[in-house]
Amino acid sequence: MGAELAMLGVEAQMVIGQRLALFMLGGPKARNKARLMVTEHVMAHQATETLLLGSMLNP
């Protein structure tokens, strides 16, 4: 289990590095990826907010 968690951390760092490299290159592909990431984060925030508000209203 410990090795699997370590590998997950390594893979996550690799993805972050790849995204940063893409953003540094710029261009339409980088803009599209950035737009997608922001959209996904906003949607995740909205879903979390909905869950939190729902749990507050229905304890």
pLDDT in tens, 18-47: 999 999 999 999 999 999 999 999 999 999
26 alpha carbon, distance to own chain's centre: 19
User: What local confidence, expressed as pLDDT, does residue 57 receive?
Assistant: 76
Stretch 12-23: mean pLDDT, rounded? 95
Tokens matching residue 21: 């490299």
User: What local confidence, expressed as pLDDT, does residue 58 receive?
Assistant: 76
CA distance to 17, 22, 26, 40, 44, per residue, from 8 (Å): 14, 21, 27, 21, 21
pLDDT band, residue 59 (cuts 50/70/90): low
Distance CA 19, CA 11 (A): 12
